[in-house]
Structure 1
Amino acid sequence: MLTVTAERSGARLTRARLSPRDVLRVGGAGLRTRPLRVFLSALGIAIGIAAMIGVVGISASSQEDLNRQLSALGTNLLTVSPGNDLFGEGSHLPSESESMIGQIGPVTSVTATGHTTAKVYRNDQIPEGQSGSIAVLAARLDLPKDVGATLVSGTWLNEATHRYPAVVLGSRAADRLGVVTAGTEQRVWLGGRWFTVVGVLAPVPLAPELDTAALVGWPVAEERLGFDGYPTTVYARAKEEHVVEVREVLGATANPEHPDEVDVSRPSDVLAAKQATDATLNALLLGLGGVALLVGGVGVANTMVISVLERRAEIGLRRSLGATRGQIRLQFLAESELLSALGGVGGVLLGIGVTFAYAASQGWPAIIPAWAMAGGLAATLVIGGLAGFYPAVRAARMPPTEALAAP
């Protein structure tokens, strides 16, 4: 403890000055005397900080998972589908659209699917109206490679099966039809005849329409399902550096006579838009975390005001022994900051735990930005200072005689 001396009326006065270590020790002693109240007040701060860090961490983890998906699947996939004509009626793509798109220089691969009018059921006893909204699509053999699809069971259509009653089910279509695994014993009633389920797809992020589809070979669709041969969705992969240029000419290339009747999209943009939509919800959750933090700050202020009222005798005694108003003010500000810091550290740890647990349950990489943790701790110090300012000033202004006379 450092001291300074001053001359006053010819007498030498020595006044103690609190060192940082003394401030922490005195502030900590004040907290240790009321452990339950301190715990509850710190809990309010911790909940607010944990909510804010959890939201930021979960959002960052989700974003990182999306980025990894896009890196693996590629952002160079473009889809072409028919739009509406001038009268608002549906149009169709020319049957030559695939080959014409394939002639664009930067395009590296092209594949397609086509809608059929067939319906698919678990067996031939299901009423016709209960199709489960499963689309039956004719598919090219190179479809999985181009859209990044993988199978969880069985195999994809090949040269030996795409001409015969064989079908590959999307992930959600398989669930609706009650098909768990593919095999020669698994059959579905499709287009008025039995089709063998040779494969089941995993979810396809870049082509979610395949998740609710039953996919058959192009030849068998034309021969047995009355398919007209017009593609309804063309998938094109382009060189990454030329995606924008290819996108601009796809409509005119796919349907030169009516380029305004063609819709062109980039599936990766849809995923990014979904992430932006999730960000809106994250902003709302951050606001709720801020409210929780504010409530925690009110709890700290309430604790400190009560502490000043309960410790008037202590304040009076310290003032009588030479403590200055600044030292009393510093003592209670230190208690408030320590209380808030305790809640802040607990909130950061709780937020980290929540983020890691949720990310693990979703199979995401756990990402917590360093600025979120640093910001959370900084917020607690600000809250502690604001919450403790009034009680500290009140304690410092309390006259020693009045404080000593308090019951």
Structure 2
Amino acid sequence: MTDIRPVRLAPLDVLSLGTIGLRIRRTRAVLSALGIAVGIATMVAVTAIPASSSRALMNELAALGPNLLQVMPAPDREAERPSLPAAAVAMVSRIGPVTSVSAVANLNTVARRSDLTDERDGSGLTVLASRPDLLSALDGRVLSGRFLDGGKFPTVVLGSVAAARLGIPGVPADGPPRQINVADAWFSVVGVLAPTPLSPEIDRSVLVSWEAARTVLDFDGRPTVLYLRAREPAIESVRAVLPATVNPEEPSKVLVTLPSDALAAKRVTERTFSVLFLGLALVALLVGGIGVANTMVISVLERRSEIGLRRALGASRGQIRIQFLTESVVLSALGGATGLLLGVAGTAVYAARQHWPVVIPAGAVGAALGGAVLVGVIAGGYPSIRAARLTPTAALASA
């Protein structure tokens, strides 16, 4: 007697067989996929929209300088001008988490609009020697002209308040630059800074080129304030080692500012949004899974005659299972892809209206596609098993 074995279905045959129900009942398939798409789109939107809002908030908090530290000498009554070692900038730049560092030095002199004004009238301004990389450390910008290039020529850049008090609102595009008097020497104004909210003392300062201060004003090269930025996770560790790094011989004579309160607010916000994302995504996936399961159970009940006929013609239980499981997965995958597109489009429109950066978390994309397939497998598992358990007689009798 010849053994009768069920035919092994090729992958294309499985796909063709599993999509029969979708092709025959197109309206129901579209509505079912739409239900899944709504759930997936909700999942993408409820993760991407808060992520966009979070990024906008993080940008605002980052503008407050949560990773900015200032290093300065401790007050010393015996010292005429308390300062830091000349090599402080180079030593701090060797700290791994430090991303940028610069320095200024108080020259303890007066800047005047003209040599005809009182020598003691400095308009409440401070004259600082500045390194050329100061703006990168402060995240500042030039409003007019350019910044100092580190050359030996006697040039200055004015803070926003200093420019207003000296009556120099900007640098002319053509013609010779305006000049001011610093310690009885003439300096050309090559730039005016925009306001620097993180360091208001810079707004009230006249910044002299570091090398020009050495050449013209007998500057000794010792800074009085360091500005540095470090990676946020390591900001506390960097702060702890700064005194010994800046002044190894007398670390107690070095003061370091505390991290900004914006850093704590930023970290709390990140943790809160992370928990929110996870909770909303799980709820959306649960809703989508229930919709798929409901659709597949109804499909099995309505297609009993088809199941009975296929079983009577020799289809095995495994083939019935794989048919309905494939249909469930394909239905979920189509809904997931559609939902992903809808969620991304909805997020982009909403973020644009709120003037937020559009952020689509990679995890949301992976969860939308992978989650949809996983939901299809889980939701189609019971209906496919139930369909496979129907005997040909029972299925045909109930049809």
| TM-score with structure 2 setting the length | 0.57
Change (3 A) 1:238 1:284: closer
What do residues 134-155 of structure 1 show as CA deviations (whole Å, max 9, x unaligned)? xx99684636465231034678
Contact 1:151 1:201 (8 Å CA) reproduced: yes
SS of the residue 2:315 aligns to: coil
* Residue range with higher mean Cα deviation, 301-310 or 138-147: 138-147
The equivalent of 1:287 in structure 2 is: 279
Contact 1:44 1:299 (8 Å CA) reproduced: no
The equivalent of 1:390 in structure 2 is: 382
1:235 aligns with 2:242: no
Alignment of 1:61-140 (within 5 A): 78-80=69-71, 99-100=83-84, 102=86, 104=88, 106=91, 109-111=102-104, 140=128
Change (3 A) 1:287 1:97: farther
Calculate percent identity across the aligned residue pairs.
Answer: 37
**Alignment partners' CA distance in 1, 2:308 and 2:59:** 59
* Residue 37 of structure 1: how far off its partner (Å): 2.5
SS of the residue 1:79 aligns to: strand
Paired residue type of 1:248: P
**Alignment partners' CA distance in 2, 1:213 and 1:80:** 14
Alignment of 1:200-215 (within 5 A): 201=194, 209-210=198-199, 215=203
**Alignment partners' CA distance in 2, 1:102 and 1:354:** 55
The equivalent of 2:44 in structure 1 is: 50
**Alignment partners' CA distance in 1, 2:384 and 2:105:** 73
Alignment of 1:185-196 (within 5 A): none
* Residue range with higher mean Cα deviation, 272-281 or 393-402: 272-281
Contact 2:162 2:206 (8 Å CA) reproduced: no
Contact 1:348 1:376 (8 Å CA) reproduced: yes
The equivalent of 2:96 in structure 1 is: none
Paired residue type of 1:216: R
Paired residue type of 1:215: D
* Residue range with higher mean Cα deviation, 143-152 or 302-311: 143-152
What do residues 172-207 of structure 1 show as CA deviations (whole Å, max 9, x unaligned)? xxxxxxxxxx669xxxxxxxxxxxxx95627x6xxx
The equivalent of 2:34 in structure 1 is: 40
Change (3 A) 1:387 1:290: same
**Alignment partners' CA distance in 2, 1:28 and 1:46:** 21
**Alignment partners' CA distance in 1, 2:127 and 2:272:** 37
Contact 1:52 1:286 (8 Å CA) reproduced: no
Contact 2:127 2:206 (8 Å CA) reproduced: yes
Alignment of 1:332-343 (within 5 A): 332-343=324-335
Contact 1:149 1:201 (8 Å CA) reproduced: yes
* Residue 305 of structure 1: how far off its partner (Å): 0.8
SS of the residue 1:31 aligns to: helix
SS of the residue 2:140 aligns to: coil
The equivalent of 2:184 in structure 1 is: none
**Alignment partners' CA distance in 2, 1:27 and 1:300:** 15
- The CA RMSD over aligned residues, in Å, is 5.4
The equivalent of 1:120 in structure 2 is: none
The equivalent of 2:204 in structure 1 is: 216
Contact 1:110 1:235 (8 Å CA) reproduced: yes
Gaps of 5+ in 1: 8-12, 83-90, 114-135, 169-181, 185-197, 220-232
Gaps of 5+ in 2: 93-100, 107-123, 149-154, 172-190, 208-223, 232-237
* Residue 367 of structure 1: how far off its partner (Å): 7.9
Change (3 A) 1:276 1:152: farther
The equivalent of 1:249 in structure 2 is: 244
Paired residue type of 2:36: A
SS of the residue 1:110 aligns to: strand
Tell me which of 280, 296, 305 is aligned to 2:288: 296
What do residues 90-148 of structure 1 show as CA deviations (whole Å, max 9, x unaligned)? x97879676235463625742379xxxxxxxxxxxxxxxxxxxxxx9968463646523
* Residue 398 of structure 1: how far off its partner (Å): 2.2
Contact 2:19 2:327 (8 Å CA) reproduced: yes
Change (3 A) 1:106 1:332: same
| TM-score with structure 1 setting the length | 0.56
Paired residue type of 2:243: E
* Residue 382 of structure 1: how far off its partner (Å): 1.9
1:29 aligns with 2:29: no
What do residues 36-58 of structure 1 show as CA deviations (whole Å, max 9, x unaligned)? 33232331453255348747986
The equivalent of 2:319 in structure 1 is: 327
* Residue 339 of structure 1: how far off its partner (Å): 1.1
